[in-house]
Amino acid sequence: MNSLPEWHQKPLTLTKEEIATPMNVINDFLYSYPLPEFREHIKTLLLMACNDNDCNSAFNIIFCEDLTRLVESCYMLKNENHGNSSITRN
């Protein structure tokens, strides 16, 4: 990864507005995918990936676990910053 150009280390899909207010992206994601629903989606993706004979199952498991931990942390930060109020779309 170190041989990639510098622009690969920056957001590629975020708009200028989203780069300026990344918490809005997080809020929209948390609104769109409540934590139990997110876990079901991740589980489904993981099962699909592990059924592919050409995939690296160990990597996929670790990646999904890490992604789940990241999303759970986002939920905690959101609740910490805004109390237990419901998450709304921006």
Spatial separation of the C-alpha atoms in residues 82 and 70, rounded to whole Å: 18
Q: Where are the domains of the chain?
A: 21-82
User: Any residues with CB less than 8 A from the CB of 24 and at least 6 apart, and which?
Assistant: 17, 18, 90
Instruction: Give the H or E element holding residue 60.
Output: helix 57-82
Residue 34 is predicted with a pLDDT of 93
Q: Decide if 31 contacts 88 (C-beta within 8 A).
A: yes
pLDDT digits (tens, 9 = 90+) for 37-80: 999 999 998 888 888 777 788 888 899 999 999 999 999 998 88
